[in-house]
Amino acid sequence: MGSLPFSSRAARTAWRIVPTRALSGVIGWSAGIGIPERLRVPTIERFARLYGIEARDAEKHLSEYRDVDEFFTRRLRAGARTVDPRPDVVVSPADGTVIEGGVATEGHLYQAKGTFFELEELLTDADASRRLRGGAYLITYLSPSDYHRVHAPVSGEIVGWHHIPGTLFPVGVRSVGREPRLFVSNERLVTLIESSAGLCALVMVAAIGVGHITTTYDLDIATHARSFRRAGIRHARYDQPRPVIKGGEIGTFHLGSTTIVVFEPGRVHLGSFAPGDGTRMGESIGKIVAEGSGRITEVG
C-alpha cells in the first residue's frame, strides 16, 4: 500500500477523519423525506438519470414511490430478472460489478493490489470459518445505479446470522485499492445458509450512506437501529431454520455497498470472473459439484 499515489493517500486520510456514521445518517434522513405527489415522477426521473438507474425495471409506477429511499430499494417488475432454474447452478445474489473472486486458500481472501483479509475476521465465527476455509468466493460491488436487493445464491435453510458493527468507508473500486482490510473494517451482516452444497455465507457489507441493512427473513434485523449499534457483535441461531429458495429475497441495502458469498471447499466451482465483470441477480455464477450437509454447532 506504500506505492499509492498522493491523491489516494490523501483520500484515505480524509475518509478516516470524516464522521461517516453521522454523514450516513444525514444521507439516510434526506433520502427518506417525502416527495409531494405531483413532484414524484420528475424528482425520481431526475434521480434515476443522475445515477444511471433503469427506472423501467421498477415494480411500481414512479408516482407510487413516496421518497427516494423507497425508489432506491425498489423491487423489480415481474420478468426483469430470471433465476437460473437448473438445480446444480449457483446464482449471483445481486446485480453489481465483480471486485475479486477465487478460493479462500488457508482462509485468505484477496482484496486488491496484493492485500488480503481473513475469513474468520470477516465472519466472526470460528466454526463457519473452519467449514468455509479453502472454499470458492466472489466479491461484488453494488453501485448507486444497481438494483439493491440481495437474494439467495442457493436453495436451503437460513440457520442464523451475525451482525458486526464497524466503519462505513466507501467500497467503490478506488476505495478497495487504497483501504487495506476494508471488508473486515466496515459494518456487515452475515447470513448463513445450509444447502445441498453445504454451508454458504452471504455477507452484506455496509458503506458510506448505507449503515442501514434490513432482511426479509427476519423483520427484527435493522442495522441502523440503536439496539444494533450499541450491542456490539451479535450472533443468532434459529432453533427452526428458515427455508429459502434460490433467488429468494434475503435483504436490502439502503444505498450502495458490497456482497461477499463464500462456499464450502470442493462443493462449488465458480465461473471465471475478472475484476470489472458485471453480474445480474439470478444469473449463473457457478455449479454445485459435490453435495454435502452439515450443521454449525458453535459460535466462536
Of 69, 95, 125, 146, catalytic: 95
pTM over 0.75: yes
Residue 13: in which H helix or E strand, if any? Answer: helix 6-17
What digits encode the pLDDT tens for the residues 168-221? 776 665 555 556 678 888 889 999 999 999 999 999 998 765 457 899 999 999
What backbone torsions phi and psi does residue 45 show, to the nearest 5 degrees?
A: -60, -40
What digits encode the pLDDT tens for the residues 231-257? 788 889 999 999 999 999 999 987 668
pLDDT recorded at residue 24: 45
pLDDT recorded at residue 212: 78
Distance CA 107, CA 184 (A): 13
pLDDT recorded at residue 69: 83
pLDDT recorded at residue 161: 96
What backbone torsions phi and psi does residue 178 show, to the nearest 5 degrees?
A: -105, -15
All 3 cell numbers of residue 228?
444494533
Of 24, 129, 195, 257, catalytic: 257
Of 24, 125, 146, 151, catalytic: 151
pLDDT recorded at residue 13: 46
61 catalytic per annotation: no
List the Cα angle 286/202/278 in 5-degree steps: 50
For residue 300, the tally of other CB atoms under 10 A from its CB is: 11
Residues of the chain with pLDDT under 70: 1-33, 112-114, 170-180, 208-211, 229, 255-256, 292-300
List the Cα angle 278/281/286 in 5-degree steps: 75
pLDDT recorded at residue 18: 45
Can you list the positions of beta strands (E) in 19-144?
Answer: 89-91, 96-103, 108-112, 115-118, 136-142
Give, rounded to a whole angstrom, the gap between the first and last alpha carbons of the chain. Answer: 31
Q: What share of the chain is helix, strand, coil (3-state, %, to 5)?
A: 25, 35, 40
pLDDT recorded at residue 185: 83
pLDDT recorded at residue 228: 74
pLDDT recorded at residue 194: 97
List of long-range contacts for 292-295, beta carbons under 8 Å, 24+ apart: 292/196, 292/197, 292/198, 292/264, 292/267, 293/194, 293/196, 293/198, 294/131, 294/194, 294/198, 294/199, 294/264, 295/159, 295/194
Is beta strand 136-142 parallel, antiparallel or unpaired with respect to 234-244?
A: unpaired
195 catalytic per annotation: no
Distance CA 100, CA 120 (A): 18
284 catalytic per annotation: no
DSSP tag of 41: H
Can you list the positions of beta strands (E) in 224-296?
Answer: 234-244, 249-253, 257-263, 268-270, 278-279, 284-288
